[in-house]
A = this chain, B = another copy of it.
Amino acid sequence: MTDPTDAPLHEPDVLEAADQSTSLDEDNRLLPGFVDQVCEALDAGDDEAAYDLVEPLHPADIADLFELVERDYRGPLARAITDLLGADVLTELNDYVRDDVIDALPAAQVAELAGQLETDDAVAIIEEMEEEDQRAVLAELEPADRAAIVDALSFPEESAGRLMQRDLVAVPEHMNVGQLIDYLREHADLTTEFWEIFIVDPQHRPVGTCQLSWILRTPRHIALTDVMKRDQTLIPTDMDQEEVALRFQKYALISAAVVDGAGRLVGQITVDDIIHIVQEEAGEDIFRLSGAGDGDINEPIRETYKTRVRWLIANLGTALVASSVIGFFGGAIEQMVALAVLMPIVAGVGGNAGTQTLAVTVRALATNQLTESNTRRAILREMRIALMNGATIALIAGTATALWFHDIHLGLVIAAAMQTNILLAGLAGVVIPVVLEKFDQDPAVASSIFVTMTTDSMGFLAFLGLAVASGLVSL
């Protein structure tokens, strides 16, 4: 969507290493002192000083700066350094922080920025905006840019259609290497963001792909069809972005052709967008397993509260189930208070064993390492590990209890309960996510509630139940 006639092929950004040493620490993070300096300049109303400080930064560091300052500073900072607020800064910003920045700018300027972006990046920005703001920005865009963005927005969220950029290089089969190079040199309006060219048939369906290095290594008279690779990964527009990321990883792709329902080439996806998705999706699994929602430290507090408290309430519910198990054995606890002292150990260590298995299973499912073919093996594997873990923990906990309370019977009861609960934990940790996946549910979201409920309730039941059954106490 850039107009290359009035811009060089790229910004020759001559950045001195020395400039960075005052702003970045050894891990490439902005120094707190530097961030404070910028905020002080803004506090003093000295926009020029703030501009001078920010000017030498790389766009990605400017984006970091916006994320690091307090929310109140984002608007003033955006207004102070508007010139520096290029498309490259905007695309690097966290979604919530970008909202703050965009809110501080007039719609015309946002539209100008969006017009400079690749379609996929413009869409990423516009899709996050309120409908009203979206309309204001779209109204300010050039008609061609607007059409491309509206078209992209018609695809489902997180789909390849949203992710793709429309700018790409596609050429017919009859070209040779020399003709291709001439074509690239003559057409100033082509994108420069491509790593492969696509060869298409007269119906614009991709028939092959060619790494640029192959073209550069090949004499001019050779036909493209002799250089190109015919086997290529085609991405349908409606493929989910997580699936797209898995293809890129599996086949080590740098870019891939996106095709519509009729198999026509409509866009390309490049690896720089994929790397963010891989990072995001892997992070999501952590947050879902722990009920932390999006896990975004820039999310408004109210949103974060809503997601987290829902999880805690669900957890309170499962804890009540476990409590009623204890309540059932109230009489037994009155006879022997040591049971109350020890029972959280059985539930807690069981819970941890379950979490271990769960984390491994959820990730193996997410990365396609665990499929129907090896589910049986995975369950057996977890059972064997649980048996070994259970035996070890039972031995230690049993011995320690027998010594602490001078009661071998109590030691045997806790040992048996531990072994039982760790086995159940292993089983629940692998079976629950596998079953959820089978019913097309995200195993990361719901599994851990069920696993905890199992290990808590069964931990108390096994321990208190065995104490009664073995005659240590009576009901």
Contact = CB atoms under 8 A, between A and B. Distances in A.
Copies per assembly:
2
Interface stretch (A76-84, A141-149, A357-365): A357-365
A373 B397 CA distance: 45
B367 A312 contact: no
Interface in A309-325: 309, 311-313, 315-316, 319-320, 322-323
A405 to B, nearest CB: 10
A403 interface: no
Given A184-B217, A231-B13, A282-B282, A313 B28 contact: no
Contacts of A211: 10, 192
Q: How large is the interface on A (under 10, 10 to 19, 20 to 34, 35 or more residues)?
A: 35 or more
Nearest to A169: B213
Given A30-B371, A349-B312, A392-B309, A456 B217 contact: no
A33 B189 CA distance: 50
A358 B9 CA distance: 44
B313 A231 contact: no
B308 A353 contact: yes
Interface stretch (A98-106, A107-115, A131-139, A269-277): A269-277
Given A276-B249, A345-B323, A243 B315 contact: no
A385 interface: yes
A269 to B, nearest CB: 13
**The 4 residue pairs across chains A and B that have the minimum distance between CB atoms:** A282-B282, A212-B212, A340-B340, A290-B359
Given A184-B216, A290-B352, A316-B349, 11 more contacts: A9-B217, A195-B213, A249-B276, A301-B384, A301-B388, A309-B388, A315-B348, A319-B349, A323-B342, A340-B343, A344-B456
28 contacts: A10-B214, A12-B230, A12-B231, A13-B230, A30-B371, A32-B372, A58-B231, A68-B373, A184-B216, A185-B217, A212-B216, A249-B275, A252-B272, A254-B272, A271-B271, A287-B359, A287-B360, A290-B355, A291-B356, A297-B360, A297-B378, A304-B385, A311-B352, A312-B392, A315-B352, A316-B349, A326-B341, A340-B343
Interface of A: 9-10, 12-15, 27-32, 35-36, 58, 60, 64, 67-70, 92, 94, 181, 184-185, 190, 192-195, 211-219, 227, 229-231, 243, 246-254, 271-272, 274-276, 278-279, 282-283, 285-287, 289-292, 295-298, 301, 304-305, 308-309, 311-313, 315-316, 319-320, 322-323, 326-327, 330, 333-334, 337-338, 340-345, 347-349, 352-353, 355-360, 362-364, 367-374, 377-378, 381, 384-385, 388-389, 392-393, 396-397, 400, 422, 452, 456, 460
